[in-house]
Copies of this chain bind each other. A is one copy, B any other.
Amino acid sequence: MSREFRRAMPLLPISMVMQLTELTARQIRYYEEHKLIEPARSEGNRRMFSLDDVDALLEIRELLDQGINMAGIKKVFDMRVNSSHVISSNKMAISDSELRAILREEMQQAQIMQKASIRQGDLSRFFQSKGE
């Protein structure tokens, strides 16, 4: 399990994200509304943000500063997401086993993240021991 996963763990309430990013709650929710971020939700429906989310928000701020609008920022983000895996697999630059490893990890993460913000549970499921 990778550090990307850990950065994706939803830990922070909106109040903290507001302080860290200097954005208002209104802004943060608005960006979510436009699918620029998708923070997890607690059982009680509260947004829980990951460090990745904070990262994205800081970048949104920058891009807005540069005069780019919601749609533009979304495009930028989408391009980035697509460029990491699609390009390399298109070119068959990675082996089958590598590809399967990526998929397996992604599925694992998705599964775990579903529960991470929501339930009390076995923390050891979230992490692996040293041999990473």
Given B54, B96, B115, which contacts A132 in the complex, CB threshold below 8 Å?
B115
Whether, in the assembled complex, A107 has its beta carbon less than 8 Å from a beta carbon of chain B, the answer is: yes
Complex contacts, A96 vs chain B, CB 8 Å? 19, 22
Asked if B118 contacts A130 (CB within 8 A), the reply is no
With A3-B111, A55-B107, A107-B58 already in contact, the answer to whether A118 and B125 are too (CB < 8 A) is no
0 or 1 for each of A106-132: is its CB under 8 Å from B? (1 = yes): 010011111111111101111101101
Check B22 against A107 for contact (C-beta < 8 Å). Answer: no
Copies in the complex: 2
In the bound assembly, the distance between CA atoms of A101 and B58 in angstroms comes to: 11
> Which 9 pairs show the lowest CB-CB distances between chains A and B?
A3-B113, A6-B113, A55-B107, A115-B132, A11-B16, A13-B13, A19-B120, A118-B127, A11-B12
Which chain B residue has the least Cβ–Cβ distance from A15? B42
Q: Are A22 and B114 in contact (CB under 8 A)?
A: no
Contact A103 B54, CB 8 Å, known A42-B15, A113-B7, A118-B127: yes
| Known A117-B129, A118-B124: A51·B100 in contact at CB below 8 Å | no
